[in-house]
Each structure stands twice: as structure tokens, then as C-alpha cells.
A and B are shown apart, each in its own frame.
Chain A
Amino acid sequence: KQEVTQIPAALSVPEGENLVLNCSFTDSAIYNLQWFRQDPGKGLTSLLLIQSSQREQTSGRLNASLDKSSGRSTLYIAASQPGDSATYLCAVKANSKLTFGKGITLSVRP
């Protein structure tokens, strides 16, 4: 059974800092890995999707990497801003379904 872990559960950083959010999964037989952002009381917004054959994806200040063999992914956020404050979830897709981690709640202090 696939399990996705995100540690720590919460993170607080000062504005401008570069930061890395970690995600690990137990079964490396995945089709893809997706990073989402969830603002309080809102739905999920897809940030980046990495196919199993890819190593990384970039979008603006975000860079996500995937090491399938070791069951790890990282989301790198450059020059963090208060507007980046949200919960970040990673999810792996296998057997037609997404399995989510519990998310990391990020707070960027002005």
C-alpha cells in the first residue's frame, strides 16, 4: 500500500528565504508525482506535475525534483514571499489513483 509522508507538518520562514519542501513515498512504481497548493478554505491548485520518467519540472520560482528509486521528491521555492503562505501537498499517482501526503503548512513572515 502506497504511503506518502511530508515532514515537517509546518514551517515558518522569513520573507526572501529559499526553501525546500520534502515528500517521500514507499512504493516507487508510480506514474507521476504532483505538487498542489491549498489555501485555507479553498480547493487544490496544481503547481507542478513530474512524470515518472522525468527528474524535475520548473515553473517560475518553483522547482520540483523526483528521485523515483529512492522514493523522494522535493519542491524548491526561491525567494519566498508572504503570498506563498499556504499548505503544500504532494501526491503520487499509481493504479489510476492519487495518494496524498498530509501536507506542509508554510508561513512566510514579512
Chain B
Amino acid sequence: DTAVSQTPKYLVTQMGNDKSIKCEQNLGHDTMYWYKQDSKKFLKIMFSYNNKELIINETVPNRFSPKSPDKAHLNLHINSLELGDSAVYFCASSQDGTELEQYFGPGTRLTVT
């Protein structure tokens, strides 16, 4: 029944490691997103993919690389993790088109030590 799912829910890792977060949506949506919510709870978009193509790439370090194997999945790979990467990462999806609402996953809390 889960519309947008993310794994893992929690991720604790050391600086310098490489990690991935997976996202899947079963809503048949064409567009998927990654957001970062920092320690001050401020939510900002990182990437947006439409039908496996990148359409939004905010000023995110190139250590972050989204990968979309198909339109139901958008994974986030992070290289050389830094302390400042600690945050909650949310995946979201929407049907193609600008006027439709976005559905969010439960979030992945990443802690870099």
C-alpha cells in the first residue's frame, strides 16, 4: 500500500564513506524528487527527475549523484560523506505536470560521524 517508500529509514556512517539511499514509488508518477531537511528543519529540493531524465539540479555538491533506473525508482548515491551531510532526506513523486501535488516518502535520517 505504501505509495512512496525509502530505504533505509536510518543510516549511520563515518566520514569519507560512500552510501546510497533508495526510493520507490508505486503511484505510476512520472516525476520524482529528492529533498534535504537540515537540522533546522528547513526543507530544500536537491534534484528532480522526469521519466528518468534530470530536470532540476540545485546547487548540490557533485558528491551527490541521483540515479533513476526506471521511472518508479530514484536512488541517491553520496560519495565521500561529510559531517554536514547529516540530515533527513526525503523522496517525493508527482504525476507529470506542474499543477499536481507531491507525495512524500517517510524520510531517511542520515548521521555522519
Contacts and interface: CB of A to CB of B under 8 A. Distances in A.
Contacts of A46: 101-104
B74 to A, nearest CB: 15
A51 B102 CA distance: 13
Contacts of B41: 87, 102-103
Interface string A39-68: 001111110010110000000000000000
A103 to B, nearest CB: 6
Contacts of A34: 101-102
Given A87-B41, A102-B40, A96 B104 contact: no
Interface string A70-110: 00000000000000000101010100111110110000000
B98 A93 contact: yes
B18 to A, nearest CB: 25
Nearest to A87: B41
Interface residues of B, number: 24
B107 A96 contact: no
Contact of A96 (B56, B90, B101, B109): B56
A44 B104 contact: yes
A31 B42 contact: no
A54 B89 CA distance: 31
B4 to A, nearest CB: 8
B75 interface: no
Given A42-B107, A43-B105, A43-B106, A89 B43 contact: yes
10 contacts: A31-B99, A32-B101, A34-B101, A44-B90, A44-B104, A45-B104, A89-B43, A98-B45, A99-B45, A100-B42
Given A32-B98, A46-B102, A98-B33, 11 more contacts: A32-B99, A43-B106, A44-B104, A46-B101, A46-B104, A52-B99, A97-B33, A97-B48, A99-B45, A100-B44, A102-B42
